[in-house]
Amino acid sequence: MYRRTNPSYGGGYPPRRTRRRRGGGLIIALVFVAFALFRYFSNTQYNEITGEKQQIGMNVEQEIALGLQSAPAMIRQHGGLYPDQELQNQLKQIGHNIVQNSDARNSKYRYDFHLLADPRTVNAFALPGGQIFITQALYSRLENVDQLAGVLGHEIGHVVGRHSAQRVSKQQLAKDLTGAAVLATGDYGTAQAAQMIANVVNMKYGRGHELQSDDLGVRFMIQAGYDPHALKDVMRILKEASGGGQRQPEFFSTHPDPENRIDKIEAAISRYGG
């Protein structure tokens, strides 16, 4: 009887193990996707200060512990603490004044404020749980207490908004979905494309956090008695520090363009009655 042959297999029907393996990989990948999405969307917590539901996989105590654990490394990375204790005390006084006299006092975080010795990096940032930092390079460019309050109010906004915890959850979801793409296709190139898309999504997510922190910063400044218009001056300082020239398109940057942020800040000032 005539039998169909395939030269590459030396006769007979070609084996179907590859097809079965790919089919099995797709099923496993779909299970991974379902589990990842279930885990992400089932970890929903309500933020009483921002009034929004958030996908977060850690509690407040874990955020505080993570921030305290990470703080020493961040301090070392920026050359240690600035040696002027009087300036450190001023920073802490303004920071705690904002917390105690604004809606931020209703959060359960352990706030502390640190002036870093770094003379080159113009930056301020917040770790989860309330550890907040500003570099000497940015501090030295500020002209008054209200501008400093603007920087600190913005960083307190990151803590209250639980932005670090949200990013951790979103990055874990992106990692899980990228792994599922590898299982489904067996193609590392597909995984690279999936990761690139995930990175762009996370960048957009970061810009949203920055704008929300500006909004919260205005709100906290007004409540604590500081001039919220000073936050617009901070944006101009940041633009000057970046060279003041052209920058990459906003879509591919984790921080919104300073001019765009100024418009949003003005809107927030009007909304909160500043």
CA dist 242 and 53 (Å) reads 35
- Look at residue 20 and tell me if it is in a domain: no
Q: Report pLDDT for 135.
A: 96
The more confidently predicted of residues 26 and 262 is 262
Higher pLDDT, 144 or 5: 144
pLDDT of 182: 53
Q: Examine residue 10 and state whether it is found in any structural domain, yes or no.
A: no
Of 27, 180, 159, the C-alpha closest to 98 is 159
Mean pLDDT on 91-100: 98
19 is a domain residue: no
pLDDT class for 8, splitting at 50, 70, 90? very low
Residue at 32 is within a domain: no
Residue 61 structure tokens = 């105590």
More reliable by pLDDT, 221 or 169: 221
**Domains: count for the chain:** 1
In terms of average pLDDT, the best of 1-10, 179-188, 237-246 is 237-246
Report residue 174 as tokens. 């992106």
Residue 234 lies in a domain: yes
Q: CA–CA separation, 200 vs 121, rounded Å?
A: 25
Confirm whether 15 is domain-assigned.
no
Q: Is 159 part of any domain?
A: yes
Residue 5: band (very low, low, confident or very high) from pLDDT cuts 50, 70, 90: very low
- The answer to whether the beta carbons of residues 131 and 114 sit under 8 Å apart is yes
pLDDT at res. 2: 36
User: Phi and psi for 115 in degrees, rounded to 5?
Assistant: -95, 120
Distance of CA 152 to the CA centre of its chain: 16
Residue 235, exposed/middle/buried by CB under 10 A (0-12, 13-18, 19+)? buried
pLDDT on residue 6: 47
Q: 62: domain range?
A: 38-272
Please state the rounded mean pLDDT for residues 245-264.
65
Compute the mean pLDDT over every residue in the chain, rounded to the nearest whole number: 80
Classify residue 115: in a domain, yes or no: yes
Quick one: pLDDT at residue 173?
Answer: 60
